[in-house]
Every structure is written in C-alpha cells, then in structure tokens.
Amino acid sequence: MSLLKEEQVPQNKITAVGVSAVGMACAISILIKDLAVDILTYVVWKLSGFPKNRVIGSGCNLDSAQFQYLMGERLGVHPLSFHGWVLREHGDSSLPVWSGVNIAGIFLKNLHPKLGIDGDKEHWKEVHKQVADSAYEVIKLKGYISWATGLSVGDLAESIMKNLRRVHSISTVIKDLYGIKDDIFLSVPCVLGQNSISDIVKVTLTSKEEAHLKKNADTMWAIQKELQF
C-alpha cells in the first residue's frame, strides 16, 4: 500500500510520545515495519538521534522475496538461484529492476529485450503486479498479513543478530545516490549485520529506472519537508 497516490492529501502532523526514553532502551538499532514505512523511518531517525545506518525500514524485503519466488517458479528454478531486486517503496509503488534480473549471470533482458515492459507478449510484468497485489489478496482471503510480515521482519532481525551480512532490499537514507539530494528513505539493497547497515549496494539502473526512483524520491520529499515535529 502506498501513501503517495496523487489523489491523496498527505497528513503532515507528527505527534511524538516519550522520545526521551530512547536513550534508556538497550538497542543498537531500530527496525521499523509499517505500511508507510519510509516516512515513519525518516521520522524515527529524526526523533531518535541514532546514526542513519542503525534506523532501518523493512521496506522492500518482502517484495523482493516474493518477486524472487514468483520469478523462480515461472522460470523453473529455485528462488535462491534467481537474482533480482525490488526497490523504492513497499507495495504499489515498488520498482522491479528488470534490467538486472539474471540466473547465474545470464541477464534475462539479453534474451528477451521486452522483459517487464508494455508490449511484452509473454506478460512478465504480471509477475510484479502479483507482488504488488499480494497483500490485498491475502487480506481478502484471511483478513490479515501478519505471518508474511513477521517472517520478513524476523529475517532482517536474524541478519543483524547473527551478523550474517546478507543483502536485503531495505529502507535507508539514499541521499547522494542516483542524483537524490535530500534525506530520503527508500529501499535499496544493503548489507545487513551486527553493525546494522554496513554498506549500500548501488545497483546499476537504466536511465528510465533511475528516473522512476528519482521521481518517487521527489514526491516523498514534498511530504517530508512539510512534517511538523
């Protein structure tokens, strides 16, 4: 679900309760999970005083896992053998990096140039639509999505607690990446371990993919700059 649909009027009033208690919490990192995860991660970062690498939004971790599973299923390979990322925002506004999807270094775009774009007769774009719509389908059938959400957050917590240094698509500050000049939290692949985010993996994007990311960042900043703490 996205809070950035053009027809929506954003709310810009933030009420903070008990922020002075953060210093008493025995935590080295803060992990945020919410439908509006990117905005809230920014707010928590501002209020907590924590270093930016230690305030983490669950972001597109679940989206990327679903994308890898569905693509692997369609291609007939195990999801761990399919390499592809979903960036930007969790849900409707997520951005699959079609230019980078590959199996064992063989890029699918080289085999099928129309992969993931309109006019593709094989309809690969539907895979990402399934990812974006999955939450609505689960809610319609079960009434809640807590299991998938919990497993995704547990996956991130495990990487931190066990210092696994796995790469996850999570929400972090992407200022100075892809031409973005503001303190925007969006999902990009990050190395996650005992020091929280130790490195950001700058995925190579096409000019069109980068433009989509930049546009979303501009929209996000238009909301963030109006926030009143």
Is residue 61 within 8 A of residue 155, CB to CB? The reply is: yes
Cα distance between residue 196 and residue 183, in whole Å: 18
Backbone angles phi, psi at 153, to 5 degrees: -65, -40
Instruction: Write down the catalytic residue from 90, 128, 168, 212.
Output: 90
Q: Residue 197 has which token pair?
A: 């985010």
Q: Residue 6 has which token pair?
A: 């053009």
Is residue 17 within 8 A of residue 201, CB to CB? The reply is: no
Burial 55-72 (b: 16+ CB within 10 A, else e): bbbbbbbbbbbbbbbbbb
Burial of 141 (0-12, 13-18, 19+ CB in 10 A): exposed
**90 is known as an active-site residue:** yes
Closest C-alpha to 86, from 131, 138, 140: 131
Residue 1 contacts by C-beta under 8 Å, 6 or more apart in sequence? Answer: 35, 90, 91, 92, 135
Owner of token pair 């238009």 = 222
Closest C-alpha to 139, from 91, 87, 86, 70: 91
> What is the strand order of the sheet 106-107 is part of?
82-83, 102-103, 106-107
**Which residues are part of the catalytic machinery?**
90
